[in-house]
């Protein structure tokens, strides 16, 4: 059993980093659809930058980029979690109670994953970790 705990202890911070990168790439896609029109989506065609949806696109694209790098992970994750909570209650919740029926599953999922990143940080393979390691006196 001890070998397993060593295995999991070794991979836990690295798996957190992999989760962070995958979630960030998926999240940035939402922002790029809103801001850049790519990938093309009929839902976000002709969007104006200076709108609530445009602001969401900026937060998603650039905040997702910071999460991807693992830079300022905790404060950015807190902001993104709040954005997803607001998106859920403003867009999805008025259409009904159940996220599976009001198409709010992704907003709920992102909200709680970003809340987790707020508490857990960016993992071993993050810019935050590299910056912290360079400041440690033992190096």
**What pLDDT was estimated at residue 135?**
87
Residue 139 binned pLDDT confidence (cut-offs 50, 70, 90) = low
Query: Containing domain of residue 36, as a range?
Result: 2-135
Residue 9 binned pLDDT confidence (cut-offs 50, 70, 90) = very high
**What pLDDT was estimated at residue 5?**
78
Chain position carrying tokens 């969007």: 47
Residue 20 binned pLDDT confidence (cut-offs 50, 70, 90) = very high
CA distances, 10 to each of 7, 15, 58, 70, 124 (Å): 5, 9, 35, 19, 10
State the total domains in the chain: 1
What average pLDDT does the segment 104-117 reach?
98
- What is the model's pTM? 0.91
Largest Cα–Cα distance of the chain, in whole Å? 57
CB-CB neighbours of 68 under 10 Å: 19
Torsion 45-49-55-58 (CA) sign:
positive
Higher-pLDDT residue of 4, 98: 98
């Amino acid at each position: 059993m001890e070998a397993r705990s060593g295995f999991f202890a070794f991979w836990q911070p690295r798996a957190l980093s992999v989760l962070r990168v995958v979630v960030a790439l998926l999240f940035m896609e939402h922002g790029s659809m809103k801001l850049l029109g790519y990938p093309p989506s009929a839902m976000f065609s002709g969007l104006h930058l200076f709108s609530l949806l445009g602001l969401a696109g900026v937060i998603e694209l650039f905040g997702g980029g910071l999460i991807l790098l693992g830079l300022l992970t905790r404060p950015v994750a807190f902001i993104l979690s709040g954005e997803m909570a607001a998106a859920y209650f403003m867009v999805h919740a008025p259409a009904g109670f159940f996220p599976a029926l009001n198409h709010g599953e992704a907003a709920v999922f992102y909200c709680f994953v970003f809340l987790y990143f707020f508490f857990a940080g960016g993992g071993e393979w993050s810019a935050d970790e590299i910056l912290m390691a360079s400041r440690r006196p033992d190096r």
